[in-house]
Structure formats: C-alpha cells, structure tokens
Amino acid sequence: MPTLVEIAHEHSDIDEASLEHLGSLLSEWGMLADFCFADMLLHLLSANGEFIVGAQVRAATGQTLYDTDLVGTVADPIEHKMIDQAFQTQKVVTGETKVDSLVEPVNLMAIPVRFEERIVAVLTRKWSQRTGRKPGQLERTYLAIFDDFTKMISTGLFPFVGRVADASVAPRVGDGVIVLDAETRVRYASPNAVSAMHRVGVSANAVGQTLAELGVAETAARHAFERREPVVEEFEQSSDVTLLTRTIPTLRRSGRQVVVTGGVVLLRDVSELRRRDRLLLTKDATIREIHHRVKNNLQTISSLLRLQARRLKSQEAIEAIAESVRRIRTIALVHETLSHEAGEDISFIEIVRPLLRLVEEGLQSTDRPVKFSVIGDGGRLPATVATPLSVVILELLQNAVDHGFPEGSRGGSVLVVLGIHEDGALTIRVIDNGRGLKSDFEMANVTGLGLSIVRTLVTTELAGTIQMRAAKVSDSAKDLTIAKDGDGTVVELLIPAVRD
C-alpha cells in the first residue's frame, strides 16, 4: 500500500510543509475516527484536478462501511463535488452519497484541512444511520467533541505542531475519555474512564468537579490548557496502579486570539504493562547479578586450588592443578562478560581476547616466547555455546604452547581465526607454527585429557566437527603471519548455528 508521501509526490504538487502537517494529522486521526464512530479518508488534490485518497482510517468504535482499501483511488463525481466545495469554500460540507456495501444513501461530511493560510487537503467522514450506533449520552458527547476538532482542523488549529502521540501505548478513545470544560471541570466521563478512576481511588461522581478537586491529572490538564497543546502524563497512584493520560485541549479562534474551550483526557490503565516492564527490568538485573556471583565463586575455587597446589611436591600434580585453575578461570571469564550484558548472548570476541591474555600470562616461558593473536569475529553467541567453546579454545591454545613449542624450541606464534558462514555456522581455527603433529598422529587414538575434553564438548555438546592437520606454509603464509620455518598445526572447528 503506498504511503501518503508517495501518493502526494506522484499525483500532486503539495509542498513539504503542508505534507508534514498532514502527516501529523494522520498520527492523530485514529482518535478522530473513534470520536465520530466512522471511517475517514484524506483526499489530496491531484495535479489534474481530481481528488485522490491519500490515506484511510477505520474507527475502533464503529462499524466500517468500506470493505476495500481505497488509498490511491479517485473520488466519484458526487463525492468530488462535495469535497471540491469544502476545498473552495473552506467550510465543512455535508451531504449524501453511496457506498458499495449498502443500498440506502450514506452521509458524507467533507472537512477542509487548513495549514497556515490555505486549504491543503480534505478529510471526509462517511457514516450510515443504519449501521451507526444508537445515540446515547456517550455518542452525543463524542460527536460534540468531534465537532470541536472539525472546527479546529478547518481553522488550522489541529493537528498540533510537532506533537505526535506515541502510538504504542498512547491511550485511545476506547480506553476511557473524560471531557473537560475550560476550567477543567468534568462534563462527562465514559464508563471506562469511570472504572479507571475507581482504580485510583476516585469513586465519587466526577461530573461537575474539577480535576484538582478529584486529584486526577490536574497538572497535566493545566499545562495542556496553558500551552495549548496535548500533554501526556503517567501517574502512579500506588505501586499497583498506573494511569497513562493524554490531555488534549480543544481550541477556538476568536479574532486573532486562540482560546481554550475545554479539553479531553484520554486515559488508560497501564498497570499491567508497567508491572511487566518492572519485572523484566528486575529479571535482567537478577540474571546479571547471578553471573557476577558465579564468577566470584569460580574465582574462589581457583584460589583454593592454587593454595593446594603450593603444598604439592609432585611436578605432575602441580601442573594438573594449574591446568584446572586455567579451565575454571576461563569459565569465570564467560560469566564475567555475561554479568555486563543485558541478555544471555555475548559477543564471542569479547571472550577470546581476554582468554588469549590469560594464556599469554599463564603459559609463557621466557626462553621460548609465543605471540598470540586473533583475527575475525565470532558474532554473538548464547552463553550455552560460548562457555564450552571457551574451554575448547583454552585447551587448543594450551596444546599449541605445550606441543608446538616444547622445551628447547625457539617459540613462535599462535593465531586464532574466527569466522561465520552464511548459514550462521561458526568456524574457529587455532593455528601454530610450531613443531607440528607427529607423523602417526590420529585424532581417533588420542588419549590425552585436553583433546578428550575438546572432542566431547565439540562433538556431543555443540554438534560440531574437529579437524587437525599439518599447517603447510602455503596454507597460512599470506594473511596468517606464520613464520616460514615451522610447519605447525591447524585445528579447525566447525560449529553449526544454534537454533532455538
């Protein structure tokens, strides 16, 4: 469906400021349709003198007369005459017309839309006595308000400049309406408005009292009347009840002056909405707090292990504990990162970088320095994937240091390359230019703890695959900053995208 702006640009030569005025009108006209219980159309004068429908709205309070979308169509001769008359005379025109869905004639009201000194479009309202609502006090009151707004539209007082209702939560006519006179005295309160006021403790009959006497939305109304523009205010009567109000002044021109004739307050009980917002906020904060505590607990565990290691004599035992401490610190790192995040997702690179630092600090021997670096990006990963992957990378880094650059070697470099496939799969390569794999190396025969951990996590927990091969210089020399003197090892992991 084309937008108003598209239609205007294609068919008319209306200027941008007028178009902006019409845009503001459209952001408010749901309320107008609701007050008059009828469908409304906005007609633009096209370059060849026709009136073309630029936008259409249906009332939430009444039955629609149009089964089809009329945007982009041209007014028929009967309607054209009335619309044109409103356009020329700058006055509201009423008459009868036909619609496809009904045999009997329907009423049409054509309202000229004024912007500054000229009429820029015509608004029509179409309704039928037959499909209309039985007139009661609510109907009469709403139609009177609609009448006020009609006059405001044709004298350029509505819509208000730059005041767009936030459509997602802004109260609508169906949520509750209070009609005020110029002294903010309640002239009418719709049944829903009465219920909403009940919930904030106003149980007396509101009619005849001022908002100040009732203690409801009075400052908002005062500001709206003083500034002659709508004011949105949310007020919390107790921690349980929150009302959202939007007070719109009704205005009239009197000579060169603009006077406030009264106003309407649309009000909506948003308690449930706000309660959910608050719950979400606290849930988020709680999750972050828990990650923080998990991190602290893991740090405590690793300190305890370190204390224990100090009392050991066996070199093998000391090393085993040092390895465990590093694994625990790696998991703590993930929780640390998660404790700063709003959700359960983390940018993987934020973990890989500190992980490299951890290894750099913990595993380096000064006699055979190893340079660690990372390139690429792993995107965002859920914690359930990031945690095992971090442990896997740690093991691979550790192996690169332990086996690629054993005692007596000269050191070298280790590179982690992250990448994301089009289908969302993650590739991780850990490349070293060290001594390389033994000629009889077989992944299937590996009995060491490190690769067993890697295999279990990658294949069973992450449903991925592992490949280990010799890193020939050709395969790495260009972008991977690997020295030419080592064949080295490449470990390649492929982790399919997680679907939830």
Ligand X SMILES: Nc1ncnc2c1ncn2[C@@H]1O[C@H](COP(=O)(O)OP(=O)(O)O)[C@@H](O)[C@H]1O
- Spatial CA neighbour of 131 closest among 59, 193, 191, 187: 59
* Window 420 to 439, contacts with ligand X (CB under 6 A): 432, 434-438
Please count the other Cβ atoms lying within 10 Å of the Cβ belonging to residue 157.
19
Indicate the pairing of strand 242-254 with strand 370-376. Answer: unpaired
Minimum Å gap between C-beta 398 and Mg ion is 5
Which CB sits closer to ligand X, 39 or 395? 395
Q: If contact means CB under 5 to 8 A according to the sort of partner, which of Mg ion, ligand X, none does residue 234 touch?
A: none
Backbone angles phi, psi at 359, to 5 degrees: -70, -40
159 preceded by cis ω (within 30°)? yes
Q: What string marks each residue from 392 to 411 as x (binds ligand X by CB under 6 A) or -? A: -------xx-xxx-------
CB atoms within 10 A of CB 198: 11
Give the residue with the Cβ less far from ligand X, 343 or 369.
Answer: 369
Q: Which residue among 46, 56, 245, 399 contacts Mg ion (CB under 5 A)?
A: 399
Q: Which one of residues 412, 450, 486, 488 is an interface residue with Mg ion (CB under 5 A)?
A: 450
Give dist(CA 447, CA 489) in Å, integer. Answer: 18
Q: Whole-angstrom distance between the N-terminal and C-terminal Cα of the chain?
A: 34
CB of 270 to Mg ion, least distance (A): 57
**Per CB under 5 A, which region of 25-33, 101-109, 235-243, 449-457 contacts Mg ion?**
449-457
Sole window of 261-269, 314-322, 436-444, 450-458 interacting with Mg ion (rule: CB under 5 A): 450-458
Query: In whole angstroms, what is the distance from residue 41 CA to residue 35 CA?
Result: 15
Q: Which is nearer to ligand X, 47 or 449 (CB)?
A: 449
143: helix, strand or coil: helix
Among residues 75 and 491, whose Cβ is nearest to ligand X?
491
Residue with tokens 């503001």: 24
448 binds ligand X, rule: CB under 6 A: yes
Residue 489 makes contact with ligand X by CB under 6 A? yes
Tokens of 149: 């707004």
CB-CB contact of 377 with 420 (8 Å): yes
| Count of other CB atoms within 10 angstroms of residue 453 | 16
434 binds, among Mg ion, ligand X, none (CB under 5 to 8 A by kind): ligand X
Nearer to Mg ion, 127 or 372 (CB): 372
Query: Pattern of binders to ligand X over 359-398, x per CB under 6 A?
Result: ----------------------------------------
The minimum distance between CB 399 and ligand X, in angstroms, equals 3
Compute the distance between CA of residue 178 and CA of residue 250 in angstroms, rounded to an integer: 13
| Count of CB atoms situated within 10 Å of the CB of 444 | 5
- HSE at residue 332, side-chain half, CA atoms within 13 A, is 17
Residue with tokens 């409304």: 40
Residue 54 or 450: the one with the smaller Cβ distance to Mg ion is 450
Shortest Å distance, C-beta 397 to ligand X: 9
Q: C-beta of 428: minimal distance to Mg ion in Å?
A: 17
* Pairwise CA distance, residues 216 & 202, whole Å: 8
Q: Check: CB of residue 489 under 8 Å from CB of residue 437.
A: yes
Per CB under 5 A, the segment of 161-169, 294-302, 394-402, 431-439 that binds Mg ion is 394-402
With 0-12 / 13-18 / 19 or more C-beta atoms within 10 angstroms meaning exposed / middle / buried, residue 139 is: middle
The entry of ligand X, Mg ion, none near residue 494 (CB within 5 to 8 angstroms by kind) is none
List the single partner that 446 binds among ligand X, Mg ion, none, CB under 5 to 8 Å by kind: ligand X
Q: Does 330 bind ligand X (CB under 6 A)?
A: no
Please report where in the chains the tokens 């409801």 appear, as a residue: 216
Q: Give the nearest residue (CB) to ligand X.
A: 448
Structure tokens at 235: 């007020």
Residue list 128-167, contact with ligand X (CB under 6 A) = none
CB of 450 to Mg ion, least distance (A): 3
When CB distances are held under 5 to 8 angstroms depending on the partner's kind, the choice from ligand X, Mg ion, none that residue 432 binds is: ligand X
Nearest residue to 122 (alpha-carbon basis) of 57, 52, 48, 49? 52
- Residue showing the smallest CB distance to Mg ion in the complex: 450
Point out which residues bind ligand X (CB under 6 A). Answer: 399-400, 402-404, 432, 434-438, 446, 448-451, 489
Point out which residues bind Mg ion (CB under 5 A). Answer: 399, 450
